[in-house]
Amino acid sequence: MQKETIGSGSSGMDAEHKVQMGLIQALEQSLQQGQGRSDISYILSQLVEYTNIHFMSEQLLMRLHAYPDFGGHEMEHDHLIEQLRKVEAGFVAGDSEMTTSEITLLKRLVIDHIKTHDQTFSQYLADPGKASLAS
């Protein structure tokens, strides 16, 4: 499998992104291998919980550093976590085929988020004066 580079440039954030992507990949694998529902459900809940904690920690950093695009980035987080919770609810309702395709899409969205919003925030952290903000 081809590995994507998803570094945002901040080592603390990058470590968390690795865990986040690791959980998404573990979930994909367990779905593809047709593992038991309780195993899949466990990984899914870990992913939701970890993602939530990760988003909170990024938002705390943004507040600490008076990040100008806090609102826009927070909205993205809210949207992603909402999507993730929908996938979890769908799986609980019993549709694992749907979960597989939704997770593939969600993985793309998370990677895009890391490469855009998180990257911009990392650049701001490295040099608040230079960072070019999208909004």
Q: Does 28 bind Fe ion (CB under 5 A)?
A: no
Which residues inside 76-135 make contact with Fe ion, applying CB under 5 A?
Answer: 118
Q: How many residues touch Fe ion (CB under 5 A)?
A: 2
- Cβ at position 20, least distance to Fe ion in Å: 7
Give the CB-nearest residue to Fe ion: 118
Query: Which of residues 75 and 98 has its CB atom nearest to Fe ion in the complex?
Result: 75
Q: What is the 3-state secondary structure (H, E, C) of the chain?
A: CCCCCCCCCCHHHHHHHHHHHHHHHHHHHHHHCCCCHHHHHHHHHHHHHHHHHHHHHHHHHHHHCCCCCHHHHHHHHHHHHHHHHHHHHHHHCCCHHHHHHHHHHHHHHHHHHHHHHHHHHHHHHHCCCCCCCCC
- Cβ at position 73, least distance to Fe ion in Å: 6
Query: Which of residues 99 and 119 has its CB atom nearest to Fe ion in the complex?
Result: 119
- Cβ at position 38, least distance to Fe ion in Å: 28
Which residues inside 54-73 make contact with Fe ion, applying CB under 5 A?
Answer: 58
For residue 69, report the phi and psi dihedrals to the nearest 5 degrees: -100, 30
Q: Of 33-41, 50-58, 78-86, 101-109, which segment contacts Fe ion by CB under 5 A?
A: 50-58
Cα separation, 120 vs 135, whole angstroms = 11
Applying CB under 5 A, which residues contact Fe ion? 58, 118
